[in-house]
Amino acid sequence: MRGSKAALRILVLAVVCAVGLISASPAQAAVERTDRFSIVDEGHDLGDGDLNGWGRPSADARLEWNLVAGRWEPRLLGRLFLNNANGECIRIQMVAIYQNGVTTTHSDGRSEFCAPNGRTWYSEVDFTPVSSAYVASVHFRLQSAPAGGWTFSTEAQSVPYLAPWWLP
């Protein structure tokens, strides 16, 4: 009897430890704030949803300020639209400015695309290039390149969005 109680205790302890290890996960992101905005330009747009009757996105893109283990991770979600552009290419850039004044620029290669004909095309955006406790602000550039050329130029840009300040 005594041996079976000890074996049962060991089995229960092993199960509890296994459940604890299985349920343990890396730091989860907490969305601290969401900024909603669109960038619209003639034939080049960042937003979400579909294009409305005026050729503008029907919904805004979202900038989620995620806090992961004390680090800000600004995440852009939405759609890039290219309308009536034959062979033209489009991309989005995030410009991050840090508390010490350093500026970095990041291009989203996953949502970058070229329109094969003059119709309306779009690409989904889910872009998180920065992870730092010292991000002060970000803004976005909507860039295009002509058919046959890969020199991108900025068509339009957003206003700066300040990072939420985490208070301990």
Distance CA 102, CA 135 (A): 10
Q: What is the pLDDT of residue 19?
A: 39
Backbone angles phi, psi at 144, to 5 degrees: -135, 160
Q: What is the pLDDT of residue 25?
A: 43
Q: What is the pLDDT of residue 21?
A: 37
Q: What is the pLDDT of residue 49?
A: 94
Task: For the chain, list the domains and their CATH numbers.
Answer: 29-162 (2.60.40)
Q: What is the pLDDT of residues 87-111, one digit of tens each?
A: 899 999 999 999 999 999 999 999 9
Q: What is the pLDDT of residue 73?
A: 97
Q: Which residues of the chain have pLDDT under 50?
A: 7-8, 11-25, 166-168
Whole-model pTM over 0.85: no
